Each structure stands twice: as C-alpha cells, then as structure tokens.
C-alpha cells in the first residue's frame, strides 16, 4: 500500500508483517544493506525502525576528519556517485 504523508509531502510504502511464533519479524529484502536498526517505541505502542550501516573501524578516521569528509562528498556529488543525504 502506498501512502502520501502530508507533513513531508512524500510517498511511503506500508506493508503488514506478522510475527512468527517467537514474536520475530522477518524483514527479508527490506533489510538489505542494513547492519542494525534503532527502534523507537512511542507511548501508543508504535514502533519506528531507523536503519543503520556501520563502517569498518579502519575507516573511522575519515569521518572524524571533517575537511576530508566534505572533500570526498563534493567529489562524489560531482561525479554523481553520492546522494545529498550522506
């Protein structure tokens, strides 16, 4: 099911997942490229999953060097290889 959210004026896909006998949800292809999720639990029971992808420890220094990170982002955006969200 596709929904239009008014507050963000964007389309979202809504699906129904059913937990197995142990209460686990299988995200299948939805979890492709994701290494973990942050789960936000609201008072009304609504769960929001925010996907995360960790980086190797050996690459951490790139993200700690803001000048280098911005240079890499600019180069990738110029080449069309990186979205504005990174």
What is the pTM assigned to this prediction? 0.54
Q: Residue 49 — pLDDT band, cuts 50, 70, 90?
A: very high
Average confidence score pLDDT of the chain: 83
The answer, yes or no, to whether residue 56 has pLDDT greater than 80, is yes
Least confident range of 2-16, 19-33, 39-53, 57-71: 2-16
* pLDDT, mean of residues 50-62: 89
Contact 76, 82 (CB under 8 A): yes
39 φ, ψ to 5°?
-105, 125
């Amino acid at each position: 099911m596709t929904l239009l959210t008014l507050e963000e004026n964007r389309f979202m896909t809504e699906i129904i997942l059913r937990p197995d006998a142990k209460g686990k949800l299988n995200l299948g292809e939805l979890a492709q490229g994701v290494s973990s999720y942050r789960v936000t639990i609201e008072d009304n029971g609504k769960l929001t999953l925010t996907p995360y992808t960790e980086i190797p420890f050996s690459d951490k220094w790139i993200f700690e060097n803001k000048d280098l990170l911005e240079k890499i982002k600019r180069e990738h955006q110029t080449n069309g290889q990186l979205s504005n969200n990174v």
